[in-house]
Structure 1
Amino acid sequence: DVRLTDTSSAQARRGKDIQGIPWERLNITREKYRQTRLEQYKNYENILQSGEGSEK
């Protein structure tokens, strides 16, 4: 039985991942993953009044 506890703000400031991801056990660093995600992730934005005229 593995119990996970919430991460405190003090722990987060010291570098603990707030989602509990064990970066030290993975084959990629948090920084490298973040950079890859920023390069590859498509950010979608809402377009104002984009649904007008559609029959929903």
Structure 2
Amino acid sequence: MGTPPFIFCYHYNINQSIIKLKFVQKLFRTCEQKTCFFLKFQISLAMLNLKIGGSIDG
């Protein structure tokens, strides 16, 4: 399905800051296209939630 290490890093950076999020986004280019698309989609939702002060769980 996906890469657990990547998902963990993704969630970790979500809790840190958008700046860290951008750093992880650069790493997306090294992963598979399917995973890259999925994570980028999640990142978009994550940034939306961060802007409205929401939190991501799951």
Q: What TM bracket, shorter-length normalisation?
A: under 0.3
**Taking CA–CA contacts closer than 8 Å with sequence separation of 6 or more, which of the two structures ends up with the larger relative contact order?**
2
Higher Cα Rg, which structure: 1
Larger proportion of helix? 2
Length-normalised TM-score, structure 1: 0.26
